[in-house]
């Protein structure tokens, strides 16, 4: 008999409990042994729950049961989740978590503690919801030298951007709908301002490059400035506006993580990943590119990843499979956004004749030594796929403003 406990009975925690009982026979078959959900920790009372007898308010009750081998944390937030998981590990209990805020802030410490106790610390659910990405990245793809990872990592903002484009829905209405579906964080700013996606790219970057990348080091811009006009102009130029979390390795060996809205051309699969779906593109020297996609938020998609980790941790108790990265003691290996070289999607404040727009942009590019071969333009926007550094981008914007084509809004362009 393998015994485990769940910490937190919110959206994800209750999903884990329900999923376990719904698919118990299959789960036990995969685990190779009978399993028992022995405790659910929550400070609230659930007297009418069918699992009422399993609830406890004290971690000590769980730690006192020496048959518990795995604890799944679905509480959210850094504390008390961090202290609780450290205590579990110190008691030789493996931990599983869906908590991206916790792993992005304290991953290196938790992984070190897990290793010291020959336990596992798994967090498949922390990035991409249902999508298997953590385990593939550090196991199946372990032989690669990674050059970049790009992701649509926040279901709420992807849902909002999609609703703005397809239904002409306002930002506020689309956010309210995402909240109703249970996708959004408790504090909507975590989604809308890019912090949630930032935590997730920190986790992927730490995993891929072996050093803890902290959220404070990452340029993060959300989707508040994206308008219906931007979404429509991008569509007219054969692309979509997406909140992209990325990390790229630079020629000088540093890495550049960032979260920002980008124009994604329709040739790239990411432009067609809609609604609550997430997508991760991994670029490595052996694989070229691999894409992973699936539901990035929601009760059961996230519970699926948590339960998968619980099965894995139960099966391999005291055999360390955890991925590992360390705190380098400095964030000098992380570059700032000024190091980004990218193309530009520009939406202008005034409409004009499409040919006039094309000519004006073409001249501004040529004046700065940039080819206009791949330029495309409409009446109120243009896409320049050619990569430019920040100084050249500013010069192009200035040259356009001088010609009477002031930018209402611009964003970087993702590769096709
Ligand atoms: N608020 C998050 C999202 C939940 O929308 O993606 C999953 O991490």
Ligand 1 centroid to Cα of residue 408, in Å, is: 29
Report whether pLDDT(322) > 70.
no
Rounded Cα–Cα distance for residues 263 and 249 (Å)? 21
For the beta carbon of residue 318, count every other beta carbon within 10 angstroms.
11
Task: Report the nearest-CA residue for atom 4 of ligand 1.
Answer: 297
Ligand 1 centroid to Cα of residue 303, in Å, is: 13
CATH of the domain at 202: 3.30.360.10
Evaluate whether 94 touches 122 at the Cβ level (below 8 Å). Answer: yes
pLDDT at residue 262 in the model: 98
Residues 114 and 23 in one domain: yes
Average pLDDT over residues 312-318: 92
Residues 86 and 144 in one domain: no
Inside any domain, residue 331: no
Which residue out of 3, 54, 200, 211 is catalytically annotated? 200
CATH of the domain at 394: 3.30.70.270
Report whether pLDDT(273) > 70.
yes
pLDDT at residue 276 in the model: 95
Report whether pLDDT(203) > 90.
yes
Task: Please state the domain count of the chain.
Answer: 3
**Pocket residues for ligand 1 (CB within 6 Å)?**
129, 154-156, 183-185, 191, 196, 296-297
Q: What is the pLDDT of residues 109-168, one digit of tens each?
A: 999 999 999 999 999 999 999 999 999 999 999 999 999 999 999 999 999 999 988 998
Assigned token pair, 70: 């795995």
User: Which of 72, 58, 53 lies closest to 5, judged by CA?
Assistant: 72
Inside any domain, residue 327: no
For the beta carbon of residue 366, count every other beta carbon within 10 angstroms.
12
Q: State the closest ligand 1 atom to the C-alpha of 159, by its place in the atom list counted from 1.
A: 5
Report whether pLDDT(323) > 80.
no
Q: What is the pLDDT of residues 223-252, one digit of tens each?
A: 999 999 999 999 999 999 999 999 999 999
Inside any domain, residue 320: no
Residues 156 and 222 in one domain: yes
Task: Report the nearest-CA residue for atom 7 of ligand 1.
Answer: 297
Evaluate whether 270 touches 204 at the Cβ level (below 8 Å). Answer: no
Report whether pLDDT(170) > 90.
no
Ligand 1 centroid to Cα of residue 65, in Å, is: 33
The kind and range of the H/E element at 346 are strand 342-348
Assigned token pair, 216: 């404070």
Average pLDDT in the chain: 96
Q: Which domain holds residue 50?
A: 2-132+300-315
Start-to-end CA span in the chain (Å) = 50
Exposure pattern of 237-263 as b/e (b: 16+ CB <10 Å)? bebbbbbbbbbbbeeeeebbbbbbbbb
Residues 123 and 55 in one domain: yes
Q: Which of 178, 296, 303, 306 to mutate to test the pocket of ligand 1 (most atoms within 8 A of CB)?
A: 296
pLDDT at residue 300 in the model: 97
Rg of the chain over all Cα atoms, to the nearest angstrom: 23
Ligand 1 centroid to Cα of residue 389, in Å, is: 32
pLDDT at residue 405 in the model: 96
Rounded Cα–Cα distance for residues 162 and 330 (Å)? 38
Report whether pLDDT(307) > 70.
yes
pLDDT band at residue 87 under the 50/70/90 scheme: very high
Clarify whether 299 is annotated catalytic.
Answer: no
Residue that wins the pLDDT comparison between 184 and 361: 361
Residues 105 and 138 in one domain: no
pLDDT at residue 184 in the model: 87
């Amino acid at each position: 008999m393998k015994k485990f406990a769940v910490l937190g009975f919110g959206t994800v925690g209750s999903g884990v409990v329900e999923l376990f009982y719904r698919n118990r026979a299959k789960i036990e078959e995969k685990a190779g042994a009978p399993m028992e959900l022995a405790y659910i920790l929550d400070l609230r009372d659930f007297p009418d729950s069918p699992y009422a007898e399993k609830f406890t308010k004290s971690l000590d009750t769980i730690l006192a049961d020496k048959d518990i081998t795995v604890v799944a944390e679905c509480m959210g937030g850094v504390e008390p989740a961090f202290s609780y998981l450290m205590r579990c590990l110190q008691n030789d209990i493996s931990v599983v978590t869906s908590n991206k805020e916790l792993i992005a802030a304290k991953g290196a410490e938790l992984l070190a503690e897990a290793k010291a106790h020959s336990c596992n610390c798994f967090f498949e659910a922390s990035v991409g919801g249902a999508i298997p990405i953590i385990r593939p990245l550090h196991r199946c793809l372990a032989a690669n030298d990674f050059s970049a990872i790009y992701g649509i990592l926040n279901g709420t903002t992807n849902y909002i951007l999609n609703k703005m484009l397809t239904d002409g829905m306002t930002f506020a209405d689309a956010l309210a709908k995402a909240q109703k579906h249970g996708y959004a964080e408790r504090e909507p700013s975590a989604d809308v301002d890019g912090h949630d996606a930032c935590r997730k790219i920190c986790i992927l970057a730490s995993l891929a490059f072996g050093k803890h990348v902290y959220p404070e080091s990452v340029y993060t811009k959300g989707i508040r400035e994206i308008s219906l006009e931007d979404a429509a102009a991008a569509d007219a130029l054969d692309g979509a506006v997406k909140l992209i979390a990325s990390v790229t390795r630079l020629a000088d060996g540093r890495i550049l993580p960032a979260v920002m809205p980008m124009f994604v051309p329709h040739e790239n699969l990411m432009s067609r990943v809609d609604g609550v779906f997430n997508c991760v593109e991994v670029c490595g020297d052996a694989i070229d590119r691999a894409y992973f996609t699936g539901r990035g938020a929601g009760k059961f998609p996230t519970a699926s990843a948590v339960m998968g980790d619980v099965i894995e941790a139960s099966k391999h108790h005291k055999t360390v499979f955890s991925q590992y990265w360390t705190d380098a003691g400095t964030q000098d290996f992380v570059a700032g956004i000024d190091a980004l070289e990218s193309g530009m999607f520009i939406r202008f404040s005034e409409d004009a004749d499409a040919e006039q727009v094309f000519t004006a942009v073409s001249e501004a590019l040529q004046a700065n030594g940039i080819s206009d071969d791949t330029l495309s333009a409409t009446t109120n926007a243009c896409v320049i796929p050619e990569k430019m550094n920040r100084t050249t981008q500013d010069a192009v914007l200035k040259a356009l403003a001088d010609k009477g084509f002031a930018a209402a809004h611009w964003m970087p362009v993702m590769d096709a």
